[in-house]
Amino acid sequence: ARKSQKTQEIKEIKMRPNIDDHDYDTKMKKVLEFIDEGDKVKITLRFRGRELSHGQLGMALLQRVQADVVETAKVEAYPRMEGRQMLMVLAPK
């Protein structure tokens, strides 16, 4: 029935480009949880101040995320800048 159907939601995870290892691991645990539930995950990197001039740090972080979820998810929207944020969308395989 309609009640038992799971609708696909977009969950958002926010990070900063200079995130610490443990914080990163915690966020990735949530990302994998969301993907296992069948939800899409939007990863937002927020740049503040001078961080904006170091866009390559953000790209490196999003590539690391991509490598960590390669078995369970595919990239639906590749990393792109939107104002002060860098966005990427992952979808379950």
Domain of 52, CATH number, reads 3.30.110.10
Residue 7 in this model has a pLDDT that exceeds 90: no
Phi/psi at 67 (5° precision): -65, -35
Distance between CA atoms of residues 31 and 39, nearest Å: 9
Sign of CA dihedral 73, 76, 78, 79: negative
In a domain, 81, yes or no: yes
Q: How many independent structural domains does the chain possess? A: 1
Tokens 């443990």 belong to which residue? 22
pLDDT digits (tens, 9 = 90+) for 31-61: 999 999 999 999 999 999 999 998 899 999 9
In a domain, 33, yes or no: yes
Domain carrying residue 36:
8-92
In a domain, 3, yes or no: no
Question: Is the full-model pTM beyond 0.75?
Answer: yes
Q: Concatenated DSSP letters for 18-58?
A: T--HHHHHHHHHHHHHHHHTT-EEEEEEEP-GGGGG-HHHH
